[in-house]
A and B are shown apart, each in its own frame.
Chain A
Amino acid sequence: MAEKFDHLEEHLEKFVENIRQLGIIVSDFQPSSQAGLNQKLCLCVCLSPRNFIVTGLQDIDKCRQQLHDITVPLEVFEYIDQGRNPQLYTKECLERALAKNEQVKGKIDTMKKFKSLLIQELSKVFPEDMAKYRSIRGEDHPPS
């Protein structure tokens, strides 16, 4: 699983580095730089394919097949578009989950207490009926 991401990360880093070098060449272009620029852009058999834009894109495209089952929540893209760390999204998800968990736990505990209190008070007023009720429910309603 992690290998798929490692391959993609490696290809992306190389591609970004090639683009950065292209940007440096273009920023202050000289006549002698044309050859280097062409070399960066087009495919050349004699040199290593690591430095070429087209082969870089092809390598990244090949990684896509291995990652077709990976899903990314759209909310992460909003963080990235705002220039924020996407780990903050994970952090906020965990915090929200914990808060909701605590909220639901509080509701469950309160309902349990209410149920036991209600049975207790009803048993005082309607002892026979509550005895029947308890016998029907069996072990679900221990006498409080």
Chain B
Amino acid sequence: MENFTALFGAQADPPPPPTALGFGPGKPPPPPPPPAGGGPGTAPPPTAATAPPGADKSGAGCGPFYLMRELPGSTELTGSTNLITHYNLEQAYNKFCGKKVKEKLSNFLPDLPGMIDLPGSHDNSSLRSLIEKPPILSSSFNPITGTMLAGFRLHTGPLPEQCRLMHIQPPKKKNKHKHKQSRTQDPVPPDHKKKKKKKEEDPERKRKKKEKKKKKNRHSPDHPGMGSSQASSSSSLR
């Protein structure tokens, strides 16, 4: 008896539930499970009003309603608020989404020379390749010495056409009257060369035409070197 009373006297708190149920020590024991067949189609079980309402809301099934938990903490910023006005992005939104944004990169960087609208994969100038395979560089930029400059001795003459396209820009419609003299698109414009070629070809063409005319005249009846019958017929035609 002493052991029996000692047990109940010592253990004022209820014994901890077994760990197999998943409850840690110190928590109150779980309520009895709902009766079998208590599905959505059946009548709800009677409320186990063992605890006063609102007393214990933590844990599953505590309180008068099963699985009734505390509501999550309310926050001021939710998806129902207009986040663009909340973060003061109205001007940015009107600027980018209100007006039409031009598609090409050259519209964003109009002063940058070269054909920048082409994809970077064409000439290995993509930023992605720079990130994936960064070039191996030294820690500082050292000036080029006199001996190094020997490597920069170039041959005279124009570049091949493949390399020339590097600094040719697409025609700009808006900036026709601006910066005409400040920049030279091409060091040797091809139009002058073509015009020169035409001018050179013109006297040659004239010579060829003259030679052809001479040949025709030699073989024609009008030529004095030909026979008299042919000359008389030609005179009748006149």
Chain A interfacial positions (CB closer than 8 Å to B): 13, 16, 20, 23-24, 26-31, 33-34, 37-38, 41-43, 54, 57-58, 61, 74, 77-78, 80-88, 90-91, 94-95, 97-98, 100-101, 104-105, 107-109, 126, 129, 132-133, 135-137, 140
Shortest CB–CB separation between residue A110 and chain B, in angstroms?
Answer: 11
Is the pair A85, B103 in contact by a Cβ cutoff of 8 Å? yes
Is the pair A23, B149 in contact by a Cβ cutoff of 8 Å? no
Cα separation A87 to B156 with both chains bound (whole Å)? 43
| Size class of the B contact interface (CB-based, 8 Å) | 35 or more
Q: Which B residue's beta carbon lies closest to that of A103?
A: B79
Cα separation A42 to B152 with both chains bound (whole Å)? 11
Contacts of B236 in A (CB 8 A): none
Q: Across chains A and B, which 8 residue pairs bring their CB atoms closest together, nearest first?
A: A104-B79, A43-B143, A81-B120, A91-B96, A77-B127, A83-B117, A81-B126, A42-B144
Is the pair B141, A57 in contact by a Cβ cutoff of 8 Å? yes
Since A83-B119, A100-B79 are in contact, a sample of 8 more A-B pairs with Cβ atoms closer than 8 Å, ordered by chain A residue number, is: A13-B111, A54-B142, A54-B143, A58-B141, A80-B127, A85-B107, A95-B97, A98-B93
Q: Is B235 an interface residue (CB 8 A)?
A: no
Cα separation A128 to B238 with both chains bound (whole Å)? 131
Cα separation A1 to B170 with both chains bound (whole Å)? 34
B76-116, CB < 8 A from A: 78-80, 82-84, 89, 92-93, 96-97, 101-105, 107-108, 111-113, 116
Contacts of A85 in B (CB 8 A): 101-105, 107-108
Is the pair B156, A81 in contact by a Cβ cutoff of 8 Å? no
Contacts A81-B121, A83-B116, A101-B84; is A34 near B143 (CB within 8 Å)? no
Cα separation A24 to B156 with both chains bound (whole Å)? 13
Shortest CB–CB separation between residue A15 and chain B, in angstroms?
Answer: 12
Chain B, 179-191, contact with A by CB distance < 8 Å: what is the 0/1 string? 0000010111000
Residue of A37, A54, A137 near B141 (CB, 8 A) is A54
Is the pair A90, B167 in contact by a Cβ cutoff of 8 Å? no
B121-145, CB < 8 A from A: 121, 126-128, 131, 141-145
Contacts of A37 in B (CB 8 A): 152, 154
Contacts of A88 in B (CB 8 A): 101, 103
Cα separation A84 to B107 with both chains bound (whole Å)? 9
Cα separation A135 to B54 with both chains bound (whole Å)? 8
Contacts of B186 in A (CB 8 A): 27
Cα separation A82 to B121 with both chains bound (whole Å)? 8
Is the pair B159, A41 in contact by a Cβ cutoff of 8 Å? no
Cα separation A94 to B95 with both chains bound (whole Å)? 11
Q: Which A residue's beta carbon lies closest to that of B145?
A: A42
Q: Which B residue's beta carbon lies closest to that of A54?
A: B143
Contacts of B107 in A (CB 8 A): 85
Is the pair A126, B153 in contact by a Cβ cutoff of 8 Å? no
Shortest CB–CB separation between residue B45 and chain A, in angstroms?
Answer: 11
Q: Which B residue's beta carbon lies closest to that of A37?
A: B152
Contacts of A90 in B (CB 8 A): 92, 96
Q: Is B38 an interface residue (CB 8 A)?
A: no
Is the pair B164, A42 in contact by a Cβ cutoff of 8 Å? no
Is the pair A91, B97 in contact by a Cβ cutoff of 8 Å? yes
Cα separation A104 to B68 with both chains bound (whole Å)? 25
Contacts of B57 in A (CB 8 A): 136
A–B pairs, 29, beta carbons within 8 Å:
A16-B113, A23-B167, A27-B167, A28-B157, A28-B158, A29-B154, A29-B155, A31-B156, A37-B152, A42-B149, A54-B143, A54-B144, A74-B131, A81-B119, A81-B121, A85-B104, A85-B108, A86-B108, A90-B96, A91-B96, A91-B97, A95-B97, A101-B84, A104-B78, A105-B80, A108-B79, A132-B47, A136-B53, A136-B65
